[in-house]
Amino acid sequence: MRTLASIVVATVISRPVLAQYSIWDLWQTTWDRSKLFTSLAPSSPFNFGTPGAIGQADIVVDDSTVYQQMDGFGGSLTDSAATVLVNLKNRNLNNYNALMRTLFDPTDGASSAGLNIIRIPIGASDYSAMDYSLDDVNGDTSLNSFSINNVPQNVFTVLNDIKSLNQYTKVLITPWSPPAWMKDSGTMNGGSLNTGMVNTYANYLLKTVQGFSSKGTVPWAVSIQNEPENSQGSYPTCSMPANIMAQIGTALRTLLNNNGFSSVKLIGYDHNWDNAGTYPVQLMQDSNAFNGVAFHCYGGSVSNQDAFHNAYPNKEIYFTECTGTYGSDWWSDIKWNVDHITAGAIEHNARTALLWNIALDGNGNPHLPSQTPCGSAGCRPIATVNSDGSYSVNQEYYNLAQASRAVLPRDVGGPFGQRIAVSLGGGLSWALRVTAFVTGRTNPSDWRRYSLVVLNWDDSASTTWNPQPVTATIEFRGTQARYTFPVGITTLWWYAPN
């Protein structure tokens, strides 16, 4: 890691001084796993100089065009994830501490992902030991029996450990179902909220925010309902029409504002891409209480996010869930996740990219006995924790780490990165997937960091396997650098004045 102390400080002038921009910092994950989120330390920098002939691909960075501010990357701290992590903590504290640093440490230059968005279910999800809510007393409309202590203590143990590592932690809380007694089905597994329970449910969600606050964490955001178009009889779910979600959101926004939680964001929809132009659009038409909407990967195309963005360009977009399955191809998963999530969702205006369980065992357990998520193979988490106290990180980790490093604050307490425009030219432009970001500084006179996350997927996988490096030029403010990208993901950055 080369710090700014090694860069000659220059005054801002009208034309760039050649070689004033230098790439010292690179992180790489390659298709053959010879490098796994490996920090490269070149003996000399890759300098920007006088433009010449373009490479096989030409990456043109335009920092005059800026898009969404990033909030970060992360995953879900389900009851199951918390259970396996606390079991690891009790069995092998050194391994637990090492895994937690690997996942969550945001220190500049650290070999860690710095994951900071933590999604926590309100009550049971399919990754719980049993169905439960935070008030299971039938007919308790006054919510006198509400208890935040229904949340397993393991969740707060792990959350507090994450917060001790990552000062940028943001907690998103999301219910899979209202309490059973609020629903027409009388069970958390399927059915719909009784329309007469709108205000009671809004108060239930307020009490959840207050409960988390009493435990030392004010939630960053509340999502009204996970997957509101999904009703299943085998695990906690709830069908919730857009007009009902709108009523809950309007009531909850008022309650939050009146109780000292005006900074807590409200997120709607939280479901698949395929209905991006219908349900979330109607939700915004029915209520202005929401900061934005969230999407999952299980239906439709990531480009569907544009249907919502085009209708409500000032509302925020979040990507909050996708999971892989044990046994699938490692490199194919890496490519898919970049194309659809860590680049795809971001290119379509998402401020976050979250994958599903932070940790499970090697069979995708534990989960509700009534449910078999992802079939017999089991859902694959970001990290696998084994009963013998060992652990490993999966392809999801490398996807998230390569992207997260590009947007984490450069300075302690500084801002996250913001997406900027980038375009591709050259004969092999198709071989690269590129996202670009600029990260501001706490001292305005310090040079800003410019980051690229580049996937080279020129592997001829659909014909005869033949992975090929791509020599690319990088154009920035009238200067040009050159780098050969191996097949894999490369994250790199340089610094430049405002």
pLDDT at 16: 52
pLDDT of the chain, 498 residues: tens digit per residue:
444 444 333 333 344 555 689 999 999 999 999 999 999 988 899 999 999 999 999 999 999 999 999 999 999 999 999 999 999 999 999 999 999 999 999 999 899 999 999 999 999 999 999 999 999 999 999 999 999 999 999 999 999 999 999 999 999 999 999 999 999 999 999 999 999 999 999 999 999 999 999 999 999 999 999 999 999 999 999 999 999 999 999 999 999 999 999 999 999 999 999 999 999 999 999 999 999 999 999 999 999 999 999 999 999 999 999 999 999 999 999 999 999 999 999 999 999 999 999 999 999 999 999 999 999 999 999 999 999 999 999 999 999 999 999 999 999 999 999 999 999 999 999 999 999 999 999 999 999 999 999 999 999 978 899 999 999 999 999 999 999 999 999 999 999 999
* The residue to which tokens 């609020």 are assigned: 182
Pair type for strands 57-69 and 418-425:
antiparallel
What pLDDT, in 10s, does the model give residues 165-212?
Answer: 999 999 999 999 999 999 999 999 999 999 999 999 999 999 999 999
Q: For strand 189-192 and strand 237-239, is the pairing parallel, antiparallel, or unpaired?
A: parallel
Question: Apex CA 47: angle with CA 41 and CA 52, to 5°?
Answer: 135
CA 228 to centroid of chain Cα atoms: 20
Q: Any idea what DSSP says for residue 453?
A: E
* Domains located in the chain, CATH noted: 4-69+415-496 (2.60.40.1180), 72-404 (3.20.20.80)
Q: Which helix (DSSP H) or strand (DSSP E) does residue 203 occupy?
A: helix 198-214
DSSP-derived 3-state class of residue 252:
helix
Q: Would you state the pLDDT for residue 17?
A: 53
DSSP H stretches of helix in 328-431: 330-337, 344-347, 395-404
3-state secondary structure 330-360: HHHHHHHHHHHHHCHHHHCCEEEEEEEECEE
Give the pLDDT confidence score for residue 462 in this predicted structure.
81
Q: Where are the beta strands (DSSP E) in 17-139?
A: 22-23, 25-30, 38-40, 46-47, 57-69, 72-76, 117-122
For residue 198, the model assigns a pLDDT of: 98
Beta strands in 426-497 (DSSP E): 432-439, 448-456, 470-476, 479-485, 488-496
**What is the rounded distance in angstroms from the CA atom of residue 7 to the CA atom of residue 212?**
44
- Return the C-alpha torsion angle 98, 101, 392, 320, nearest 10: 160
Q: How many CB atoms lie within 10 A of CB 442?
A: 12
Global pTM reads: 0.95
- CB distance 104 to 166 below 8 Å: yes
Task: Compute the residue count for the chain.
Answer: 498
Rounded Cα distance, 96 and 85, in Å: 7
Cα 173 from Cα 175, distance rounded (Å): 7
In terms of Cα–Cα distance, which of 126, 102, 124, 122 is closest to 114?
102
The encoded tokens of residue 48 equal 């920007």
Q: Please choose, from the candidates 307, 301, 300, 299, the residue with its C-alpha nearest in 3D space to the C-alpha of residue 277.
A: 307
- With b for 16 or more beta-carbon neighbours within 10 A and e for fewer, the 124-150 pattern comes to bbbbbeebbbbbbeeebeebeebebeb
> What b/e string do you get for 69-100 counting C-beta neighbours within 10 Å, with b at 16 or more?
ebbbbbbbbbbbbbbbbbbbbeebeebbeebb
pLDDT recorded at residue 5: 41
User: 195: buried, middle or exposed (CB in 10 Å: 19+, 13-18, 0-12)?
Assistant: exposed
User: The sheet that has 418-425: what strands, in order across it?
Assistant: 38-40, 25-30, 488-496, 448-456, 432-439, 418-425, 57-69, 470-476, 479-485
Nearest 5°: CA angle at 276, between 274 and 281? Answer: 150
